[in-house]
């Protein structure tokens, strides 16, 4: 992919598309593109690393154990390690572009 987050978007993709932008011992930065995708109903992420994630385009909803979080462009959230969450919904109207920063 080019060095632009908003270019080279996938088309007709059956699942979310993850693209690594930077990997170092300290941090991993990735772009995620969703388009109407969500996590399976009983699937929960339970990650060993902390994640900071922002929605840059589109719209999404993340489910945590105790709340739903609506996310619009610019909205960000820090998800500590082992905080269970899932993608409850992303808009079918356009691609949702996320930027995620994983770190220990």
* Pair type for strands 50-57 and 68-71: unpaired
The window from 10-18, 34-42, 52-60, 86-94 that contacts a copy of itself (CB under 8 A) reads: 52-60
Q: Does 64 bind a copy of itself (CB under 8 A)?
A: no
* Pair type for strands 27-34 and 96-103: antiparallel
Residues 7-36 close enough to bind a copy of itself by CB under 8 A: 7, 21-22, 24, 26-27, 29
Q: Does 48 bind a copy of itself (CB under 8 A)?
A: no
The CA distance from 58 to 95, in Å, is: 6
Q: What are phi and psi of 82, to 5 degrees?
A: 60, 25
Cβ closest to a copy of itself, residue 4 vs residue 15: 4
């Amino acid at each position: 992919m080019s060095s632009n987050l908003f270019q080279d978007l996938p088309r007709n993709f059956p699942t979310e598309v993850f693209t690594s932008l930077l990997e170092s011992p300290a941090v991993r930065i990735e772009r995620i593109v969703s388009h109407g995708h969500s996590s399976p109903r009983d699937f929960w992420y339970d990650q060993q690393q902390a994640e900071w994630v922002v929605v840059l385009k589109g719209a999404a909803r993340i489910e945590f154990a105790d709340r739903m979080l609506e996310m619009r462009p610019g909205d960000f959230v820090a998800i500590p390690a082992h905080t269970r969450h899932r993608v409850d919904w992303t808009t079918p109207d356009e691609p949702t572009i996320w930027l995620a920063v994983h770190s220990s």
